[in-house]
Structures are given as C-alpha cells and as structure tokens.
A and B are shown apart, each in its own frame.
Chain A
Amino acid sequence: METATRFKTLKDMPKDDYMTPGNTLCAGCGGALAVRIFHKVLGPNVAWVNAAGCITITMSYPLSPIKSNWLYTAFASAPAGAQGVRDALDVLMAKGKLSRSEDMKVVVVTGDGSAYDIGLQSTAGALDRRLDFYYLCYDNEAYGNTGFQMSSSTPFGSSTKTTPPTPAFPLGNTNTKKDLFEVWRTMRAPYVATLANSHGVDFLRKVEKGESVKGPKMYIAFAACPTGWGYDPKDSVELEKMAVQCGVWPLKESVDGVVRHTVIPRSLTPVREYLKAQDRFEHLFKPTERTEAIQKIQAAVNSYWEKVTASEGAQVKLAQTA
C-alpha cells in the first residue's frame, strides 16, 4: 500500500508558496492554511474552481493572493466548472490548439456549505463522470462566510446562528454531522482523504498520493475557524490537533473504496476538553454542565473507534464517557 514519498518529515514541506501573505481571510483561518499547503504540493500549474465561501472574497478585484488561475463559479456548481475547464483543456490539447505544457491540475475548493449541502449534486455528477480533478473542502462545520449558520457538517451540540441554544433548545444543533467521506466513498470516488493542518506530513502525503490517481481526488480538510468556533486565533493548529487526538476528526483515506486510518491515536483524549476549548460549545458547560449531551458525543466517538479497532486491527484506548 505504501508508496515512495517525497515527504518524510515536516522539513520536506515545499518551500515555494503560491498563496501570498496578506489576504483578507481571518487571522488563524484553518481553511486558508489548508489551501496554502495543498497548493504547495500541487505546484504552480493549477486552475482553482471555487464555490461561494470565505475564500471567495479573498479574490477581491483587483487583488488575488493566489498565484495560479482562479475561477469563481457559483455556490452549487464548482465541480461543473471544473468539468468545463478540464474538458476545454483536454479538447484543445487533443485538437492541437493548446500546448501540453499549458496543462493544469484542476482543483475545486469550497467550504462545507457547498460541499455538504448545496453543491452535493454537482459533486455527484463529477464523481459519476470520473472527472479528473481534485476537490478540497475546507470544513469549518458551518456557513462561516455568512456569519456561522448551521450546515449539514455542523456537529451535534454546536451553537450556530441558526441553531442558537435557548431554554427550549438547550443543545444548539441537534442534527449530527453528515459523513461526507462516506458519501463520496460510496459514490465511487477512487480516492478520498481527510486532512488536518496539525498533521502536516499526513496532509502532504495524501495530496501527493492524489497525483497518481486518475479521476476524482477528494479531500476534506478540517478547518478550524476562530471567529465561528470562538477561540484565540493562535490556537487553530493546536485545536485541530486536539480534534484528531480526541477522535472527532479521524485522519483516513479511501483508495478504491478501501478505508484505512492514517493516524490512529493510541489513547483518545476526552472529547470534553476539545469541546470546552470552544465558545460554540459553551452552552454545554454553562450555566450547568450538560453531562448527558457531552456523554452522547463521547459515546459516538468511542463507537466510531471501536469499529476502526475491529476493521483495521488498530489498538485505540477509548476515553471514558463519564
């Protein structure tokens, strides 16, 4: 399974940057960091195709922090935009109207609102057609750009602007987070991977791995969101690390439908600590601790890792639910 990699340690992170500093995203934006690292691995020849989201606004005429091509399409149809760019390049090269040296990696980049909700249909279409493209979803678990409303990626218990905790609805969001990894996998994506900025080598290797895959290469990057989640922007990478270590954000990949976890915590830290570090879960702790809800979240995480233990033979020490 393991192939040769040019990324052994974080020191192997490519030096060249294609995303300049000084963009308009929030300080500590996990999405911006994910795009920056992703681009480093892809190299310069990229056509980004974007759907409405936080990063859209960074391409504010006449400025762009991205040194490669960029096309903003619409909220629902970035994968179809990628289809058009990919097909145009292919047909023009086939007809000899375009030099092969002009070929590019076509990369969709969207937030979770587009990926999980409004853009899912066009993603399904691109997967059906086995479009040769990358999809990078920076997942901040809500509609961040519009001020943090619930998306189908929002986890159970999170407060958002459309799921505010009230006496009648004390838990905030009571839906559970959609498993987009599984949705994409069962739509026969040849490669699906989750990423976290805190786990750089894992991140780099997965993007590298996509290079050898013909067809859709699908990535969901955990994107800590200081403004939406409520924590100090300097702690973004630390918070992503906590998410991986407590098990709410599993790092894994699927190659032709076969799932493998790439980072397996030996011992899960209590999910309570991760929740407590963010204002979006504050109502689970104040004025009184919602023990039952926190236990429910912990139980879901434990149940997930029990299945991983069973299917992959991994040894994971679960955290206590109470």
Chain B
Amino acid sequence: MLDRVPAQGDRAGQGGGPQMNGKLLTGNAAAATAARLARVDYIPAYPITPQTEIIETIANWVREGTMDSKFVQLESEHSMMTAAGAASLAGARVFTATSSQGLLYAMEMLYNVSGWRAPMLLVNVSRALAAPIVLEPDHNDVLAARDSGFLQFHSETCQEVADLVLMAYRVAEDHRVMLPAIVNLDGFYLSFTREPVVLPSQESVDKFLPPYEPVGPMRASKPVTRGSAVMEGYLYSYFRYNMHAAALKSKEVFYEAASEFEELFGRSYGPVEGYMLDDAEYVLVISNSFTALGRQAVNRMRDQGVAAGLLKLRMVRPFPSEEISAALRGRKVAGVFDQNLSPGLGGIFYPEIAASLYHTKGRPEAILPVVGGLGGKQITAKEMGMIFEEMQAIDRGEKAPSPMFLMRDDELARVKKTVAIAEGES
C-alpha cells in the first residue's frame, strides 16, 4: 500500500462500452463525467469560479438529454446544500459542487446535512478565501469543513477526481457509514488543466456502484421526522459519537471499495500514497495538485543521492493517522507542506500529523512545518528543494525545525513594488 505510486492503470473500459479511454479532460470535466457515470438523480447548483464548468457541463447534458437527472439552479450555496441534503433524505442520489466562499456560505448546512446522515457528494474546487479576494487555490476553504462530519478525499490528478467521485459515493452510501462526502480538487491547477483521464464503462461503474438505498427516506406510506431537536446533551453526544464512529468506520469501507475498484478498473487507491518511500529518510507530506511538484523534487533529490520520499494525503476525513504513523516510522525528518494557514497557529495539517506520530515508536526526530502556495502562489523546484535541504540541516543538528513560510526574493520584490504603488509612491 505504501509502495511507490501505483501506475495509472489503463485496463478500465475493457470489454466494450463507450470508447472514452484516455480522454483529455479538465478536472472539472472529470468531476462532471464521474457524476454522470454515478447516475446521480439530482444536482442542485450555484455558480462560483472555478467550479462553474462542472455545473455548466451537467446542465448542458441534462438539457440535451444525455444525462438522466434533474438539475436545478438555486439562489445561493446555502440553499443549494439545503436542497441537496433534503433530496438525499427523500431518496435521491445527489451531486453538487462549489468553491471557496461558496463552501463557507453553505457551511451551516454542511453540519446539518452530515447530522441528517444524508450521503450526498460535494465536489469542492479549492480556491483561497477572501479577504483579500483571490481566484487561485489553497486549502483553507475545504479544511474549514474538516470538522463538519463530511468525509474528505483530496485529488492530485484529474484521473483521481473522477475515480474519487465514484469511490466517495460507494463509501458514503454504505449503510455502515451514511455520511456525506467532499471530493477536493485544486482550482486552476486541476479544474482548468487537461489531463488524460481513463473513464470506465457505464457497465463497470454500475457494477461498482449499486443504486442508492436510503435509510428511512421521507415517504407518504411511512412518515419520518428528520432533523428533530434533542433537548439533552447526552442525546446530542450520542448522535455526535455515532457520526464519529461512522466516520472512523468509513476507512475500512474505503479499503473494501478500493480493493474492488482496483479489481474492476486497475487503479489502486489507499488513504495515503507513498512515493519513493522504501528507503526514504526525508519525507515530504503533501496533498492535492502540488503533490506533483513534490514528486519532481523527490526525483531531483534522489538524483543528488539524497534519500528523499513523499507521502501524499488522499483521505483527509477520516484522518488516516495509522497509515501516516506507519509510513513515517523510522524516517529521520518529515516535512509537512501545508497549503493553508490558520493565523496564530500555522499550517492545519501539521498538528494533525504531529498528533498521529506522537505515540509512534521510532517516529521522525523532527517534523518541519512548511506553509506555502497560499492563493495559488507557485512553488518552484528550488523552493521544493529548499524544504529537503532544510530537513537535512535539521537532521545534521544545524537547525531547529522552525516554521518555513515560502516566498521567493523575486516575489518579495514584486510585493514591495506593488505595495509602493498602492501607497502612492510611484
């Protein structure tokens, strides 16, 4: 499981079906296509950059009759999520998508929908949060939902976007789980970037993903009360523990689904994914599309004879603590690349990873916190290399693992120039 990155299989789609193999798709198109393959019943939508292509694509398919679903545009993300959760409780398989401010605007409903145990799927196309307003990604948006009760799966490639949409439905709708899920992809870097995506046939998807079987749906013949109040803390605690137990259970369900997925489609997905980990001493922990930059950095370090490796987080909720602990045991130094910032704390993944390692025998002596890529700030090979150099310096005892905030000299010069203009110094 923690070996080198699994080869992106091309066996899917064999045995007939639409010939769509290896199609060049944006991350957004991959998400929309997977939703169609999942035979979703209902798509409540609201537009926001950079998610719009997803809902435009689906709206077009529904209107031209090539997707048998109901598409409705709501008047806000808050309403969109309300409609999504309610429809799921009424027995529909529901898909929707948002980004950034939209996710935060809907946030109240995320907690409600998970509390309703409505297993709908939300694709989040990451975009950093205002203010200041910006279009490119970091993960403060999706990580704001980390405590909402939604399962979270994060994608590095457009292929993963499509596959994780199918996987997420399978896990979320399992009666041992019954929680909603988020599949995350980075705005711009994935949403608008075409990559070859191997699409499975409808027949094989149908095999992998049976129709949604709701638990106690709203029915005239068998009325139910959903979302009722509990007036006692012990009842509330019971329901919350229950959600926690289901979220923890979902990892086991994910493994089952991943095993079947690999059999059917030839691609293997674990909660985490290692790259060059076998003998790695310096391991970068990273998620989402910038993982590709991390892989390049590992290759370059290996060329220089450094035992570098990478651990990608794919499953974010439930948090794969055991897998992280197993993957990082025995390493000299780990570096955590957080493309997010909790002001006053630092990166959000860092404490989660540190906590996962605290009771691990043979844990890395040091964990280097790195914050970078905020608002989609590009990370060069040199910056990635510096992270590995820093890890080695820490290992040699030359430095303490103090937080790194990535910003290059040329960028800083541009910052100064821009600030000067804003302040009227020409």
Contacts and interface: CB of A to CB of B under 8 A. Distances in A.
B92 interface: yes
Contact of B79 (A57, A60, A64, A122): A122
Contact of A125 (B74, B218, B224): B74
Contact of B86 (A60, A83, A125): A83
B219 A87 contact: no
Interface in B79-93: 79-80, 82-92
Given A60-B230, A64-B225, A73 B112 contact: yes
A69 B82 contact: no
Contacts of A76: 78, 108
Contacts of A69: 218-220, 223-226
Interface stretch (B10-18, B65-73, B297-305, B341-349): B65-73
Contacts of B91: 88, 92, 97-98
A294 interface: no
Interface size on B, as a range, is 35 or more
Interface string B172-216: 000000000000000000000000000000000000000100000
Interface in B275-313: none
Given A73-B227, A83-B44, A87-B70, 4 more contacts: A56-B229, A80-B78, A81-B86, A88-B94
Nearest to B44: A84
Contacts, number: 165
B79 A125 contact: yes
B55 to A, nearest CB: 15
B103 to A, nearest CB: 16
Contact of B92 (A44, A67, A88, A121): A88
B226 A70 contact: yes
Given A59-B225, A69-B224, A80 B83 contact: yes
B75 interface: yes
A61 B268 CA distance: 43
A74 interface: yes
Contact of B220 (A45, A56, A59): A45
Nearest to A128: B75
A70 B228 contact: yes
A61 B229 contact: yes
Contacts of A45: 220
A16 to B, nearest CB: 14
Given A77-B79, A77-B82, A72 B72 contact: no
B412 interface: no
A97 B39 CA distance: 13
A52 to B, nearest CB: 10
Contacts of B76: 121-122, 125
A103 B90 CA distance: 11
Contacts of A90: 70
B41 interface: yes
24 contacts: A49-B86, A60-B229, A61-B231, A70-B224, A70-B227, A71-B225, A72-B226, A72-B227, A74-B108, A81-B82, A83-B72, A83-B83, A84-B82, A84-B88, A85-B87, A87-B92, A88-B86, A91-B42, A91-B69, A92-B91, A102-B220, A102-B221, A121-B76, A125-B79
Nearest to A94: B70
Interface in A9-51: 44-45, 47, 49-50
B245 interface: no
A239 to B, nearest CB: 28
A113 to B, nearest CB: 16
Contacts of A72: 226-229
Contacts of B227: 50, 59, 70-73
